[in-house]
């Protein structure tokens, strides 16, 4: 039984690798290279980043916000670990109130996962459960892109 599962997994990997090779041969770009670390967004680059990368995770925050300061090192560690699967960005709501209003960000920290330029999932506040759910969403979307 375990052998059958391994064979199935190997078959799936082989097919994905073959598909990637075929795409490269015909010149299809799979994904843009993901930047490492955290990008700081503002009104001039927000839409450009959302349209350029398939998965963008945005932390809406403010300097005066205690929970935002507590979340920041955690978020940066997530960005360091998962940068190859999603772009991690931060947007200061005080410096960019129009974007915060556009996405109805009423509480901070709020983390929004964007998929193909549209809001996919929102996490408000800071908890271990929300961080685990955020990682699940990133994995799900990353795998979804790989199967398209």
Average pLDDT over residues 108-113: 98
* Catalytic site positions: 65, 68
Q: What are phi and psi of 91, to 5 degrees?
A: -135, 120
Using 50, 70 and 90 to split pLDDT, how confident is the model at 22?
Answer: low
Answer with the residue of higher pLDDT: 3 or 40. Answer: 40
Of 116, 20, 99, the C-alpha closest to 60 is: 99
Secondary structure (3-state) at 129 = helix
Tell me the pLDDT tens digit for each residue of 113-124: 999 999 999 999
Q: What was the pLDDT predicted at 10?
A: 78
Q: Cβ distance 124 to 68 under 8 Å?
A: no
Whole-number average pLDDT of the chain: 90
Query: Has residue 108 got a pLDDT over 50?
Result: yes
pTM of the model: 0.78
**Residues in a beta bridge with 61:** 92
Return the domain boundaries, the chain: 1-30, 38-147
Distance from C-alpha of 104 to C-alpha of 124, rounded to nearest angstrom: 12
How would you classify the pairing of strands 38-41 and 55-61?
unpaired
Of 64, 74, 58, the C-alpha closest to 123 is: 58
Answer with the residue of higher pLDDT: 16 or 106. Answer: 106
* Topology annotation, domain 38-147: Glutaredoxin (3.40.30)
**Residues in a beta bridge with 59:** 90, 111
């Amino acid at each position: 039984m375990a052998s059958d599962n391994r064979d199935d997994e190997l078959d799936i990997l082989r097919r994905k690798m073959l598909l990637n090779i075929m795409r490269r041969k015909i010149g299809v770009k799979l994904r843009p290279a993901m930047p490492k670390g955290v990008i700081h967004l503002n009104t001039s680059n927000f839409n450009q980043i959302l349209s350029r990368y398939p998965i963008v995770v945005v932390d809406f925050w403010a300097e005066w916000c205690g929970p935002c300061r507590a979340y920041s090192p955690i978020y940066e560690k997530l960005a360091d670990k998962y940068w190859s699967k999603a772009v991690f960005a931060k947007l200061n709501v005080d410096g960019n109130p129009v974007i915060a209003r556009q996405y109805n960000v009423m509480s901070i920290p709020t983390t929004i996962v964007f998929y193909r330029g549209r809001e996919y999932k929102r996490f408000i506040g800071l908890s271990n459960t929300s961080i685990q759910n955020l990682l699940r969403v990133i994995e799900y979307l990353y795998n979804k892109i790989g199967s398209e």
